[in-house]
Amino acid sequence: MTRQTPRLRLRLLLTALAVFSICAGSAAETAAANGEQSAQEAFGTVEPSQATAESWAVAFGPRGTAKMQRDLRYSLPPRPDLSSVNREVYKIAKNPPHDFWKLASAVPFTFYLPDKDGSYVVFIQLDKMNLDVIKAVPSGQIVDFIKYMGCLFFGTLDGRRDARIKIVMDCGSMNLTSLMWYGGLGTVRAIAHGIDDLKSLLGERTSHFVIINSSSIVQTVVEPLKRFSPTSMTVLALGGPEEYVPHLQELIGTDSLPKLYGGTATVPIGQSPMALAVEQQIRSFIAAKESRRKARNKSQ
């Protein structure tokens, strides 16, 4: 056995420390990569807001100013803390329905901007529904689609405890024949069912449901909504622009409405920061779901 001199022992110690440092660094990089991958699966690659929930509450509260709201309107709210998210909500959120994009074309359910109270505005434009898809899709799938969108939004995108949405459903040029014959009425009922089903998972998160351009089909649409919707949700039907524009301006605020509906916001529906974040989050979950499926198939 070779006798180790002090100099040799020192050299061996330094070598061991160097090896340990390399291994530790590699382990840290691996952990960081895994953590980043996990975070990407949960939240995609959308940058979270730097503002806190408290900042949002102040900006859109009684002490808020126009400048405070303007600074936040085109950003994103803070993400939820996943440790506090209902497990069932997150399980639904990370598993988009089969044929999600087909369902999305059938029900154009689009998040826009936060309104003057900080509630996100959602537009449902009935005359942009894919009627061929609507006729072929069971109403239960529409209910599941609405539940999914609610779980996705409140479970992964808006972490404010008091977050709410306001829905504006535009009947547009859809007439009673289209509503009855092509399944539009069933879709409206399914939307109401979906909102009601979300109550047990998320609480009552929809404060207003406003139907516009509804002159020819007002009672046909409003009655099922009132019947199936949460009791705390205000359901209101309005006619054309001369009637709905002043109401939406008062309820939502001109800064949070697109020009199409009497506002001053220039971002198109479907292109707002939240709409893009929703789409990116869904694509991230779909990709992760597909990766899990391939991994299972490979292990069999």
Half-sphere exposure of residue 70, counting CA atoms within 13 Å on the CB side?
7
CA 220 – CA 186 distance, rounded (Å):
11
Beta-carbon contacts of residue 101 (< 8 Å; ≥ 6 apart): none
Q: What's 155's DSSP letter?
A: I
What percent of the chain has a predicted confidence (pLDDT) above 90? 45
* Residue 227 scores a pLDDT above 90: no
Query: 139-152 vs 273-299: helix axis angle to the nearest 10?
Result: 110
CB atoms near residue 227 (< 10 Å): 11
CB atoms near residue 53 (< 10 Å): 17
Where do the domains of the chain lie, and which CATH numbers do they carry?
A: 80-286 (3.40.525.10)
Terminal-residue alpha carbon distance, the chain: 52
pTM of the model: 0.79
Q: What is the pLDDT of residues 285-300, one digit of tens each?
A: 999 988 888 888 888 7
Q: What is the pLDDT of residues 151-171, one digit of tens each?
A: 999 999 999 999 999 999 998
